[in-house]
């Protein structure tokens, strides 16, 4: 077990939650893993060993001793990996959809880090044994560009540039419906959704999050958007678009079934779009930054993957009906 158990206190928004569900949401674990920890005696509720189905009250004190993830969890694996640029200090990767960035309780291997360890001799150690070289992340089902650091000096410089908004990140997203204006700036704080802790939401007590939206293409019942980030909160683009009432097409967490709310002449088109979209339509298309060592301005582009380009082509009317 870990030497220093984590101590958590149940807040007002979580009263009535089951212990195993609450632990899963707060510790980024699967519910089965959270239940196993309770069964293994790794969890104490107000100083006593609880049942996994225990119902929580405000102010309950929970101690959790999670077994340490061993460094061996991040092993080198020969996985498909598209590297667009590599030098002595960093590399730029075009991550495929479906690949998790780094190992975690629910994803011990098969990640970008596992692939990097197979391809790259050295990575920055700042992220620890499970996140070597990782400067920023993309959601599992978001594809596109990431920069990875090979040494600690480069890692610190890139992280500082990210904080100072000196790294430009542009995404392409398809969103349901039509925005109220061609250009929008969304400034709305993001934190855990008090009603569903596995989700994020716009909440007053959240961390500041700013997203810039520009309509690139207007479709029958959706739009293709250029999306720029000032901040990098968890699920930021997906949360902000859902908050506006225009969730990302194919986003099962924040926009499941959204096409069923579209009526009129475009209703059938919307159902077809949902059926044709194989995963959330979100892709990191441009990454630009100044090289921390050489000072060179670097810009990388990754066009839409084939599966999303096919969807966009159909939406534009460029692909004939099957």
Catalytic (active-site) positions: 139
What is the C-alpha separation between 268 and 294, in angstroms, rounded? 53
CA quadruple 168, 183, 250, 255: dihedral positive or negative? positive
The full DSSP string for 116-184 is HHHH-S---STT-TTSTTB-S---TT-EEEEEEESSHHHHHHHHHHHHTT-SEEEEEEEEES--SSSEE
Cβ-in-10-Å burial (0-12, 13-18, 19+) of 163 comes to exposed
Burial 29-64 (b: 16+ CB within 10 A, else e): bebebbbebbeeebbbbeeeebebebebeeebebeb
Residue 147: which of 95, 98, 191 has the closest Cα? 95
What is the C-alpha separation between 281 and 180, in angstroms, rounded? 20
Which pairing describes strands 143-149 and 282-290: parallel, antiparallel, or unpaired? parallel
Backbone angles phi, psi at 316, to 5 degrees: -80, -10
239 torsion bin: left (phi>0), alpha (psi -120 to 50), beta (else): alpha
What is the C-alpha separation between 134 and 155, in angstroms, rounded? 8
Asked whether 186 and 244 are in contact (CB, 8 A), the reply is yes
Instruction: Provide the residue count of the chain.
Output: 322
Q: Is 230 helix (H, G, I), strand (E, B) or coil?
A: coil
* Alpha carbon 94 to its chain's center: 15
């Amino acid at each position: 077990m870990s030497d220093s158990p984590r101590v958590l206190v149940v807040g007002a928004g979580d009263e009535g939650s089951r212990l195993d569900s609450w632990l899963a949401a707060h510790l980024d674990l699967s519910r089965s893993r959270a239940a196993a920890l309770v069964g293994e005696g790794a969890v104490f509720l107000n100083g006593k060993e609880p049942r996994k189905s225990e119902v929580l009250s405000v102010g309950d004190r929970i101690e959790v001793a999670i077994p340490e993830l061993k460094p061996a969890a991040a092993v080198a694996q020969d996985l498909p990996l598209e590297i667009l640029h590599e030098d002595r200090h960093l590399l730029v990767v075009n991550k495929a959809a479906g690949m998790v960035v780094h190992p975690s309780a629910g994803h011990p291997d098969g990640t970008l880090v596992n692939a990097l360890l197979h391809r790259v001799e050295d990575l920055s150690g700042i992220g620890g044994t499970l996140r070597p070289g990782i400067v920023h992340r993309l959601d599992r089902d978001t594809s596109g560009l990431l920069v990875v650091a090979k040494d600690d000096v480069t890692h610190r410089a890139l992280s500082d540039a990210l904080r100072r908004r000196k790294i430009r990140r542009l995404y392409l997203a398809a969103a349901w419906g039509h925005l109220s204006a061609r250009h929008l700036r969304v400034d709305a704080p993001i934190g855990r959704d008090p009603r569903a802790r596995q989700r994020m939401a716009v909440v007053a007590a959240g961390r500041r999050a700013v997203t810039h939206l520009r309509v690139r293409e207007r479709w029958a019942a959706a739009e293709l958007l250029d999306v720029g980030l000032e901040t990098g909160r968890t699920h930021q683009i997906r949360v902000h678009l859902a908050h506006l009432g225009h969730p990302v097409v194919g986003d099962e967490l924040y926009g499941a079934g959204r096409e069923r709310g579209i009526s009129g002449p475009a209703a059938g088109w919307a159902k077809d779009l949902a059926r044709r979209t194989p995963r959330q339509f979100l892709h990191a298309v441009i990454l630009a930054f100044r090289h921390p060592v050489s000072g060179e301005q670097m810009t990388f582009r990754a066009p839409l993957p084939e599966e999303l380009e096919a969807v966009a082509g159909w939406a534009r009317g460029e692909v004939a009906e099957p």
